[in-house]
Structure 1
Amino acid sequence: CRLSDGLVKTFGVWQKPPNWPDDTPWRVPREQVDGVVDRVFAAYRPVAFFADPGSGFDESDGERYWDG
């Protein structure tokens, strides 16, 4: 949110594509997400950072990623 006028901007959205096969795991491209976050922090002076982690599962053990 830009403090001067309240502008809110989305820099990226990552979600499973429509019609993705149910039997094929889909993973958020973490390197891409990290790259976008790094570029935004380099280009702007953020005073806050918000993200919706969703209900992802850890690929190493299949447990819900954010519950632990």
Structure 2
Amino acid sequence: MNDEGWTEADDIVEETREARRRLWERCDNDPKKYMAYMKELHQQLLQAGWVEAPPRPRQDKSAA
């Protein structure tokens, strides 16, 4: 932690928030445009050779 109480983790969080703000603005703050962009990006990554992680197994909440 530095003198101002700011940590490296704070820098990472702020960088992530800024990236999210830019992405949201890129999509004109429209959830439908955002989802369309995410789907397009997903397809581009798959075509580039990225592999999807399998979904987590569902846990039965009644057994808890």
User: TM-score, normalised on structure 2?
Assistant: 0.31
User: TM-score, normalised on structure 1?
Assistant: 0.30
Instruction: Work out which of the two has the higher radius of gyration on C-alpha atoms and give 1 or 2.
Output: 2
Q: Which has the higher contact order (CA 8 A, sep 6+)?
A: 1
